[in-house]
Amino acid sequence: MQPACDQGQVLACAGAQAARPRLVLAATILASSLAFIDGSVTNVGLPAIGRSLGAGGDVLAWVVNAYLLPLSALLLFGGAAGDRYGRRRMLILGVTVFAVASAVCAAAPNLAVLLAARGVQGGGAAILLPNSLAILGGAFEGEARGRAVGVWAAVGAMAGAIGPVLGGWLIDTTGWRAIFLINLPVAAGAVILALVAVTEARDERPVPLDAAGAALATVGLAALTWGLTLGAGPGGWSPTAIALAAAGAVLMALFLVVEHRKGEGAMMPLALFGSAEFVGLTLLTLLDYAALGGMFVLFPYELIRAVGYSATAAGAALLPFPILMAIASPFVGQIAGRAGSRLPLIAGSLIVGLGLVLAGRIGPHANYWTTVLPPILVMAVGMSGVASPLTNAVLSSVDARHTGEASGLNSAVARAGGLIATALVGGVLASSGAALTAGFRVAMFAFAGATFAAAAAGFGLLRRQHRA
């Protein structure tokens, strides 16, 4: 799911009317859609990929995490690279890297090649996404920017709704490799439009690239994720798993030390965390999107492996989620504008948790209308309460100089939450039969606990009034 603060990155950019605004909008829509649709389509394809390549469920988690890892760790670095070397140039580079990696994924003869290509895909997404958002924000001003963001968000919501269904249909009719091939024409269109319509832009005085911070964040998250995946898998918390998790924690601590020393030149300025409200929003984002990311991995897997759905049916089962969010989000946004963001964020997190508890009832022979659909609808209502007010809350929690950095960091945290949650469900993916359903139920209850903790963070750290 596309994190809400991606829109914050657009709104934080300085705007000016582009010569060909519609073509610029189309280019940014095509480019950014590559980054957030690919994950949802791949989730539906996990069972087919496992059967085709002979991969165990615990290893399948890396099909998702090999992509999320560089995307989470390098998202801020990719934006800084665009500021320094040119946003159009980096957008074209990111889209090209993503397309080449997608072709390699489609042709992968074994799991090792697939995982390597997925990692390159994530690196390409970390370059293209922040620069497409910056280009979109810089191409419009005033009311035109609001309309452009609305169109961009609406098309993204429609693509997010159609993606899993289309991906499931391709898997059932052609095979899982086709879900990566559909990226190629989209990438080609994005590159052509960028060359034709987007003018080069960069900061006149960019800060130096934080290569040390990017390296530490990537290696630290990789070690932590690997350790968590092993620990949550069938092998349990072996000495190797503990050592990897500990090494990841140490490297992330070193990352914080490096960022502190770099001050305003850091990839993640720690001055942002001087605001208790920003800390609360970061915790809420991490916990809510971790629960949602883990759910979107396990939900279709349970439907396909335990309930007997086809890939198409599993993708279609999730269709009400983005549709209801698209309908409910504007109304929740209006409520947040009048009453403040605090109440919708807290209530939304609690409602998502209720939906996850309801999802724990899903098992073999589950009826769609009485067992599968209700938790999807409840979670969609809850996430509408989180997604709509979150962008405004984050932008308002820091001073004007840091709004772009705060939005980018919040988007990266959302994706890191999904990364960590997926690492922890490897043991569930490795099981089958009654053990799969039992593990799925435990995971849903654990994710519900995370959303309840997110609500507690919002209650304790967010201001009572936070009007738009």
State whether residue 21 is helix, strand or coil: helix
- In tens, the pLDDT along 164-204 reads 898 899 999 999 999 999 999 999 999 999 999 888 877 76
Average confidence (pLDDT) over 49-66 = 87
Q: Tell whether the model's pLDDT for residue 39 goes beyond 80.
A: no
Q: Tell whether the model's pLDDT for residue 378 goes beyond 90.
A: yes
pLDDT of residue 464: 56
Q: Tell whether the model's pLDDT for residue 468 goes beyond 60.
A: no
**Cβ count within 10 A of residue 320:** 16
Give percent of the chain above pLDDT 90.
54
Contacts 24+ apart (CB under 8 A), 198-201: 198/18, 198/24, 198/27, 198/87, 198/88, 198/91, 198/135, 198/139, 199/18, 199/19, 199/88, 200/86, 200/87, 200/88, 200/89, 201/86, 201/87, 201/88, 201/134, 201/135, 201/138
How sure is the predictor about 1, in pLDDT bands with cuts at 50, 70 and 90? low
- Which residue would you say has higher pLDDT here, 263 or 248? 248
Task: Report the alpha-carbon distance of residue 117 to residue 112 in Å, rounded.
Answer: 9
What's the residue count for the chain?
468
Q: Is 199 exposed, middle or buried (0-12, 13-18, 19+ CB in 10 A)?
A: middle
Lowest mean pLDDT among 101-115, 225-239, 285-299, 359-373: 225-239
- In tens, the pLDDT along 91-122 reads 999 999 999 999 999 999 999 999 999 999 99
| Residues 259, 245 contacting (CB under 8 angstroms) | no
Q: Cα 273 to the chain's mean position, in Å?
A: 22
- In tens, the pLDDT along 273-324 reads 888 889 999 999 999 999 999 999 999 999 999 999 999 999 999 999 988 9
How sure is the predictor about 348, in pLDDT bands with cuts at 50, 70 and 90? very high
Q: Tell whether the model's pLDDT for residue 466 goes beyond 50.
A: no
Tell me the pLDDT of the chain averaged across its residues: 88
The whole-model pTM stands at 0.91
Q: Tell whether the model's pLDDT for residue 467 goes beyond 50.
A: no
